[in-house]
Amino acid sequence: MTRWRLTVEFDGGPFMGWQRQDHGPSVQQSIEEAITRMTGEEARLHCAGRTDAGVHGLAMTAHVDVEKHVTGFRLCEGLNALLRPDPVAILSAEPVDDGWHARFSCIGRRYLYRILNRRAPPTLLKGKVWHVPQELDVEAMAEAAKHLEGFHDFTTFRSVNCQSQSPEKTLDSLEVARVGEEVHFRVAARSFLHHQVRSMVGTLSLVGKGQWTPGDVRHALEAKDRQELGLNAPPDGLYFVEAIYPEA
């Protein structure tokens, strides 16, 4: 038995999210079915973090145990062939110790959110960004983002369906920068609440539009009340960037 660490890239558009669902396709299901077809074994995939419907992955980390003898190269090649035409790719497959776990060994997660900030709607980037035609004040959003960094009760920015035992999290960083026609939000923490990144981005966009002040964001955070949330951004612009492990 070999435990394989997989790095996965995927377009979340056609899926109901990473995790298997009874009501639609998932990234997990696609990969597990490909592994079963390749090895003849029932596969159980574990990942570093679940993603919602429409959220994308640049380098999601997952692991799976496989009894069949196979090299990492052959595992990648075989799975990528079997995954077609689903928009999922295995970027790498590396053997790891039996005690290593994609979720529980992870000590940090990074996300990117992309806003296309121009008048014209997206064509090539449709489904890959959130289109906001009104010009955004990036400096004001960056100032407001500082109120969200650090250890807080993030109830305001937490989905009512969140299953986390506590709303308290430490947000390591939330950087806002203009990149050409886009505004990028780079977010890092050990772990996140359900919809936390999308809720923070949506609320910060109100600051960028001049509808909220940076102080309003602080007051919303301190309220610890989901009713005080400004806006929940759509999933299209959200990307799981990286899972961080001790050896890195």
Judge if 155 and 218 occupy the same domain: yes
The catalytic residue among 52, 153, 172, 216 is 52
| Residues 36, 220: Cα–Cα separation, whole Å | 47
| CATH number for the domain that contains residue 23 | 3.30.70.580
Confidence of residue 27 (pLDDT cuts 50, 70, 90): very high
pLDDT over 70, % of the chain: 100
Residue 192 class from Cβ within 10 Å (0-12 exposed, 13-18 middle, 19+ buried)? buried
| Residues 238, 115: Cα–Cα separation, whole Å | 9
Is the residue at 88 inside a domain?
yes
pLDDT at 163: 80
Is the residue at 31 inside a domain?
yes
Q: What region does 180 belong to: left with phi over 0, alpha with psi -120 to 50, or beta?
A: left
Instruction: Indicate whether 12 pLDDT > 90.
Output: yes
As a whole number, mean pLDDT of residues 96-125 equals 97
Judge if 88 and 132 occupy the same domain: no
Judge if 85 and 119 occupy the same domain: no
Structural domain range at position 128: 109-244
Is the residue at 49 inside a domain?
yes
pTM of this prediction?
0.95
Is the residue at 102 inside a domain?
no
Judge if 37 and 137 occupy the same domain: no
Judge if 79 and 36 occupy the same domain: yes
Is the residue at 25 inside a domain?
yes
Judge if 92 and 173 occupy the same domain: no
| CATH number for the domain that contains residue 237 | 3.30.70.660
pLDDT at 23: 85
Active site (annotated) includes residue 153: no
Judge if 130 and 9 occupy the same domain: no
Judge if 84 and 139 occupy the same domain: no
The β-bridge partners of 215 are: none
Domain tally, the chain = 2
Domain boundary among 70, 96, 122: 96
Residue 12 class from Cβ within 10 Å (0-12 exposed, 13-18 middle, 19+ buried)? buried
Whose tokens are 């062939």? That residue is 81
> For all residues of the chain together, what is the average pLDDT?
96
